[in-house]
Structure 1
Amino acid sequence: MRFGLSGTLGGLEAHGADAIVGHARRVERLGFESVWFNEEHFNQPNGSRVRPVLSPIVLAAAVAAATTTLRLGFSVLLVPLHHPLRLAEEIATLDVLSAGRVNFGVSRANGERYRIPFGYDEERDPGLRQCLDQILAYWSGSAIEVGGVSYTMSPITVQQPHPPIYVGAYSRQTLTWAAERGYPIIAHGIQAPASLHRSLATFAERGGDVGAVPVGRFCYVAESDRQAREDVWSVVCQLADRLRRIGLTRKGDLITTEEDLEPERFYRETAIVGGPDTVASRIAELRDRYGLGRINLLSSFFGYLPAQLLDSSLELFAGEVMPRFARQGLEV
């Protein structure tokens, strides 16, 4: 299996924005395959904890310059908030600078919190599918006509015909479209088990390759199950409360429920927390049930996990969990 980290700062939020590049080098040395950056914007001026937010493409470029094998994913970029030509150019540039290490995760822009400040006009929005088709056309060398003169986009992506595309999707319609186009979906760690099952089952029914889907899970490893609970129980309670307050539906597509966010249930069923044996067993259960080949750890628990605990968890995951899958003849 391949293991990555996912979050606003690539799953390393606990260390703060100024430390991400150095810690990206460290997770590369530990054997993680990828880091995935979320596109988020703004901090709410309500006196609550400040969560660092950086431009994901700029951050990915900084990490690319500091690493050699770590793949740079986006989980996800909100494509309708970007001009398709500009986004195509920036992702192609990142692919060149990273020597072909980009995973292009995309989704539509949900929620007025982003749409209104970015001048989003729903009546003029071509939608995710058309925007993505435009980007692919630019990457393929399709002509851009300006004043009777024909141009083609530069640079050309290193990965041909284009970087791998992943689609953030919850609705049956988008899951079906992604499967039919051959795009793996991205399953986010906020999804309760029932929502994750629905997404993966729908995607598979429509011909999608579930083995290529990065499945996100909040994950923490300690020396024992008892120590893990002692370390992160308060973190889980804070996170569950946060998820409850922001609401987790996408136009009626259920992601989780109030019952799923009850802290004890969230701890046992949605998050993967425990000693190495427990964590490896839970991941193996997901792999065997769905045929998974990729897991993305939401290792910072949205930044609630203290840095020292994050470091120890990643060390234990790399040293005690990943090798168990390698010994089974699976790629790590």
Structure 2
Amino acid sequence: MKFGLSGCGGGVELDRHSKLIELACFAEELGFDALWFNEEHFQNAKDGDGRLCLSPIIAAAAVAARTTKIRLGFSLLILPLYHPIRLAEEIATLDHISNGRVNFGISRGGNRRYANIFNSTERYTTEEFTINLNIVLKSFSSEELSIEGESIFIQPKPIQMPHPPLFIGSYTREIIEYSARNNHNIIMHGITSLGNITEALKIYKGAGGEIGNVPIGRFMYVSDSDENARRELWPTILKLTDKLKKVGLTKGGQIKEEELEPENFYNKMVIAGGPSTCREKIEELRGKIGNMQYLNILSGFFGYLPEENLKNSLRLISSELMPYFKSKGGGF
């Protein structure tokens, strides 16, 4: 079983300042499989403290230059905000800088505010998404592309061929089924109800997808006891749920309104406690999902978790959870 870290700073984002490189190296030393960088824009300083969101490809390149083993993923890049050929060049460049450590996560988008400000399509149709994604993938290949009547050859090519592992983020049936039919992985974000995840995986499996290849996102915090975990994490839970109530997640159906109440959020959306309790909760999650072989941990709690708590939690995940679950094998 693999353990990744996910967030706008690869899961190691902090409150209004960044120790990205230091903490990325720390995560690599602890043996985490990957850091997954979210693409986020327009974080409002007026909302108080919270995460510092960096440009994901640039942040991943900086981490790539200072690490050697940990993989660098995106959860997710928003395809309508990029020219597909330029995106292919940047992902291939990152694959070279990292010596073949890129996980290419992509979404068809849907944020109207992003579209208005970047003068972009709000959300690709399925057809538009697949056309532009195929341009990216063809740019990775050895064949020439015909654009506007001109044949062009795209460089560089990625180290990982035919392309870096592809992960598509969506909760819509048409995109999930498309991904399964074309042997593409999907990725499940952690800021969503477990019911949404299990429904998406049911569709994916029904269309021929392999659930074991799907990174499953969940908030997680580990301390030396259940009591200490709750005491240490509770101030962060209050800040985070207050933030999430403001960003309109319930309107998109990602999460139910009652799940944003702090007590419900702690119990339903977060794996928290001492090591033995967290092992039990992960096993329970695996029982509900099926062949889960990749847990993608939202470890920074949107940057609200203090640095020392973050580091202590990562240490305990590394020493108390990862050896137990890695011994079970599986994954990709």
TM-score, structure 1 as length reference: 0.93
Tell me the secondary structure at the aligned position of residue 62 of structure 2.
helix
Of residues 216-225 and 118-127 in structure 1, the stretch that sits farther from structure 2 once superposed is 118-127
| Contact residue 139 and residue 153 of structure 1 kept, 8 A | yes
Alignment of 1:155-170 (within 5 A): 155-170=156-171
Whether the aligned pair in 1 keeps the contact of 2:176 and 2:200 (CA below 8 Å) is yes
Q: Which amino acid aligns with 2:307?
A: A
Name 1:262's counterpart in structure 2.
261
- What is the deviation of 1:58? 0.6
Decide which moves more: 136-145 or 111-120: 136-145
Of the structure 1 ranges 110-119 and 142-151, higher mean CA displacement relative to structure 2 is found in 142-151
CA contact (8 A) 1:80 1:127 kept: no
What's the secondary structure of 1:191's corresponding residue? coil
Structure 1 residue 113 corresponds to structure 2 residue 113: yes
Partner in structure 1 of residue 13 of structure 2 = 13
Partner of 2:310: 310
Amino acid at match of 1:276: P
> Kindly tell me: are residues 280 and 155 of structure 1, through their superposed partners in 2, closer, same or farther at Cα, counting changes over 3 Å?
same
Q: 1:286 to 1:89 in 2, by over 3 A?
A: same
Q: What are the within-5 Å matches in structure 2 for residues 198-237 of structure 1? A: 198-237=199-238
The equivalent residue for 2:277 is 278
Give the match's secondary structure for 1:259.
Answer: helix
CA distance in structure 1 between the partners assigned to 2:47 and 2:267 by the alignment? 31
Q: How does 1:177-216 map to 2 (within 5 A)?
A: 177-216=178-217
1:292 corresponding residue in structure 2: 292
Q: Is structure 2 residue 75 aligned with structure 1 residue 75?
A: yes
Alpha-carbon distance, 1:41 to partner: 1.2
Q: Which residue pairs with 2:31 in the alignment? A: 31
- Please tell me the residue identity of whatever aligns with 1:274: G
Deviation of the 1:329 alpha carbon? 4.6
Q: Deviations over 1:26-47 (max 9, x none)?
A: 1111010000000111222535
Q: Equivalent residue for 2:90?
A: 90
Contact 2:4 2:295 in 1 (8 A): yes
Contact preservation (8 Å) 1:228, 1:273: yes
Judge which range, 17-26 or 276-285, deviates more.
17-26
1:54 paired residue number: 54
Matched to 1:99, the amino acid is: N
CA distance in 1, matches of 2:210, 2:122: 32
Note if contact 2:84-2:135 (Cα within 8 Å) is conserved in structure 1: yes
CA apart distance, 1:330: 5.4
Which residue in the other structure is 1:247 paired with?
A: 248
Higher mean displacement: 294-303 or 35-44: 35-44
Shift of 1:184: 1.5
Q: Is the 8 A contact 1:11 1:300 kept in 2?
A: yes
- Distance change >3 Å, CA 248–CA 46, structure 1 → 2: same
**Separation in 2 of the partners of 1:86 and 1:68?**
25
Q: Distance in 2 between matches of 1:276 and 1:123?
A: 41
d(CA) in 1 for partners of 2:74 and 2:189? 12
Residues 41 and 53 in structure 2, CA contact (< 8 A), matched pair in contact too: yes
Q: 1:326 offset after TM fit, Å?
A: 3.0
Distance 1:194 1:178 in 2: 20
The one-letter amino acid of 1:2's match is K
Question: Which ranges of structure 1 fall in alignment gaps of 5 or more residues?
Answer: none
Identity of aligned residues (%): 44
Q: How many residues align?
A: 330
Matched residue, 1:326: 326
Per the TM alignment, residue 234 of structure 1 is displaced from its structure 2 partner at its CA by: 2.1
On the 8 A contact 1:165/1:184 being kept in 2, the answer is yes
1:207 and 1:146, CA in 2 relative to 1: closer, same or farther beyond 3 A? closer
Aligned equivalents of 2:297 and 2:285: distance in 1?
Answer: 13
* SS of corresponding position for 1:217: strand
Q: Which residue type is aligned with residue 311 of structure 2?
A: D
Would the alpha carbon gap of residues 138 and 160 (structure 1) be closer, same or farther in structure 2, given more than 3 Å must change? same
Going from structure 1 to structure 2, the CA distance change for 1:106 and 1:156 (only over 3 Å counts) comes to same
> Shift in Å at residue 238 of structure 1?
2.0
CA contact (8 A) 1:109 1:115 kept: no
Further displaced range: 308-317 or 119-128: 119-128
Segments of 5+ residues of structure 2 without an aligned counterpart are none
Measure the CA separation in 1 of the matches of 2:259 and 2:15: 29
Taking a change above 3 Å as real, the CA distance of residues 61 and 266 of structure 1, as seen in their structure-2 partners, is: same
Q: Distance in 1 between matches of 2:96 and 2:195?
A: 39
Comparing 67-76 with 17-26, greater Cα deviation is found at 17-26
Q: Give the distance between the partners of 2:75 and 2:2, measured in 1 at CA.
A: 16
CA spacing shift, 1:66–1:123, aligned 2, 3 Å: closer
Aligned partner of 2:42: which letter?
Answer: F
Alpha-carbon distance, 1:175 to partner: 1.5
Contact in 2 for aligned 1:170/1:250 (Cα 8 Å): no
